[in-house]
Structure 1
Amino acid sequence: MSASDTFTEADADVVEAQLQRRPRGVVRVAWRCHDGRPGVIMTEPRLPGGTPFPTTYYLTCPSLIAGCSTLEASGLMAEMTRRLGEDAELAAGYRAAHESYLADRAALGEVPEIAGVSAGGMPDRVKCLHVLAAHALAKGPGVNPLGDEVVERLADWLARPCLVEQAGR
């Protein structure tokens, strides 16, 4: 883990401003926005207090959250799910992304309640672009083909100033 991945108290304050709540169970910063703020955090598979939490890679950047919400409202998830049923190569890549996600979570600890369940609808459907984008940003290109597509579509959103900054925080 590099120093830029370490989750500091300052990072916790930024994520709290981004999400409007204090983050829980954070392992590290998995990806930082162009301005150095946390954009994706990696979380424990079991939150303090014992609640299972399958979302290992959690998108926190308000600009990207807004961009993913806009893409979801456009019907992109249904189109991507349809393509999974038609394109065997895409489906295989998405299944591999699911396995990657599960392996990363297993490295943090086993939680029987969510065994075999990744996030975002993987491996058979698309139900959350936020998760796919977070996974793709955290792991880099080539790991999650649909996450990579979401990140490509977010190019304009990636260049925007952090909404925390715009809100004067």
Structure 2
Amino acid sequence: MSTPPFQPASDRDIDIVSAQLGRPVRNVIGIPARCVCGAPTVVATRPRLDDGTPFPTLYYLSHPAATAALSQLEATQVMTEYTQVLADDEGVRSAYHRAHESYLADRDSILVVDEIRGFSAGGMPERVKCLHALGAHALSAGPGVNPIGDLALERAAWSTEVCECADYDLDGTID
């Protein structure tokens, strides 16, 4: 099987993501989206962790400013609005289903894990559950793949074009 088109994670990336999250990361296999400064924004995690646990969340948002902005957006109850968009707009609904299939194909290209087969992230393909997961997928896959992730990123008080990173030392600590 081939792997999705993302850069492998370097030791420095792992240190930065661990600093971003405030804990050691596990089973990171790549960096599918980066800040304009080069720091990781989204990490890709193996579908089965080293301890054998199935892990359905391939694309995980790690950037603190992006995470905070999507948390603030979730607090406005916008998921209800986006779920209504899915109900009302056949085009968005179809695109969201394709985003779900794309997510599954990316994950399965790394490793097929029977326990999570058919489960993607963020409520796809039927509802909107987690803007962090949907935004991470949209950042990783690029504009136009995940319509709800795209909507959330457009509305969030954060931009991929402006660096809001802390400074990271080589040991992974934040200055």
TM-score > 0.5 by shorter chain? yes
Paired amino acid for 1:131: A
Matched, 1:161 2:164: yes
Give, in angstroms, the shift of residue 129 of structure 1.
0.3
What are the equivalent positions in structure 2 for 1:1-169 lying under 5 Å apart?
A: 5-154=7-156, 156-158=158-160, 159-162=162-165, 164-165=166-167, 168-169=174-175
Kept in 1: contact 2:123–2:130 (CA 8 A): yes
Paired amino acid for 2:80: A
- SS of residue in 2 equivalent to 1:131: helix
Give, in angstroms, the shift of residue 156 of structure 1.
3.6
Paired amino acid for 1:23: V
Q: Supply the distance in 1 between the matched residues of 2:38 and 2:138 (Cα, whole angstroms).
A: 18
Q: Flag as ranges the 4+ runs of structure 1 deviating above 6 A.
A: none
Structure 1: any 5+ residue segments left out of the alignment?
A: none
Q: Which has the higher contact order (CA 8 A, sep 6+)?
A: 2
Paired amino acid for 1:115: R
- SS of residue in 1 equivalent to 2:167: helix
Q: Supply the distance in 2 between the matched residues of 1:39 and 1:168 (Cα, whole angstroms).
A: 15
Kept in 2: contact 1:46–1:53 (CA 8 A): yes
1:89-124 Cα offsets, whole Å, 9 max, x none, are 110000000000000000011111111000000000
- SS of residue in 1 equivalent to 2:83: helix
Higher helix share: 1
Q: How many residues align?
A: 166
CA RMSD of aligned residues (A): 1.8
- TM-score, normalised by the number of residues in structure 1: 0.92
Give, in angstroms, the shift of residue 154 of structure 1.
2.9
- TM-score, normalised by the number of residues in structure 2: 0.89
Paired amino acid for 1:124: E
Give, in angstroms, the shift of residue 165 of structure 1.
3.5
1:27-78 Cα offsets, whole Å, 9 max, x none, are 1110101111000011110111011111000100000000000000011111
Paired amino acid for 2:118: G
Structure 2: any 5+ residue segments left out of the alignment?
A: none
Paired amino acid for 1:68: L
Kept in 2: contact 1:59–1:65 (CA 8 A): yes
